[in-house]
A = this chain, B = another copy of it.
Amino acid sequence: MNDIASVSSESRSLLERIRVGEVLARDCPSREILNHVCSRWGVLVLVVLLDGMHRFSELRRKIGGVSEKMLSQTLQSLEQDGFIDRRALPVVPPHVEYTLTPMGREVALRIDGLTTWIEQNLPRILAARENRTADTLSDS
């Protein structure tokens, strides 16, 4: 009574997709979430917020190279997805606090695992890269 049961023709590729996961489906909503989380600045915002609450300008200072526009945009999409809690205190000058939601913390931990791995293995990776470029020069 589910998708699997209704598969008769064209069944092979559909079954494969289901087994591996929905992200592989062209129009699965998880693709969008994944892109928000894995976006250039989304990753870094999540990592920084793992350290606790931050204000807008704090985030901007910690994340090297991000523009106001992109930071704002990134924060909005992550807030929409329910990963970030935005609290605006009604004072002047404005004071806005960004925090991870419980759900946001769960993704952030996984993202952090990835970035940490990359940082720690960067020497290995860069070494591998140099070998490759050397190969392409010598195997002609």
Residues on A facing B (Cβ under 8 Å): 13, 16-17, 20-27, 29-30, 33-35, 37-40, 43-44, 47-48, 51, 61-65, 79-82, 101, 103, 106-107, 110-111, 113-119, 121-122, 124-126, 128-129, 131-133
Taking a contact as CB atoms closer than 8 A, the residue among B64, B82, B128 that contacts A125 in the complex is B82
Q: Are B40 and A35 in contact (CB under 8 A)?
A: yes
Show 6 A/B contacts (Cβ-Cβ < 8 Å), sorted by A.
A20-B48, A21-B116, A30-B115, A30-B118, A79-B132, A107-B117
Query: Across the two chains, which residue of chain B brings its CB closest to A22?
Result: B119
Q: Are B26 and A65 in contact (CB under 8 A)?
A: yes
Chain B hits for A43, CB < 8 A: 23, 34, 38
Query: Across the two chains, which residue of chain B brings its CB closest to A62?
Result: B24
Taking a contact as CB atoms closer than 8 A, the residue among B17, B40, B51, B81 that contacts A62 in the complex is B17
Chain B hits for A20, CB < 8 A: 47-48, 51, 62
**Once bound together, how far apart are the Cα atoms of A107 and B37, in whole Å?**
16
**Once bound together, how far apart are the Cα atoms of A24 and B58, in whole Å?**
13
Taking a contact as CB atoms closer than 8 A, the residue among B17, B110, B118 that contacts A23 in the complex is B118
Chain B hits for A35, CB < 8 A: 40
**Once bound together, how far apart are the Cα atoms of A81 and B62, in whole Å?**
26
Q: Are B115 and A23 in contact (CB under 8 A)?
A: yes
**Once bound together, how far apart are the Cα atoms of A77 and B16, in whole Å?**
26
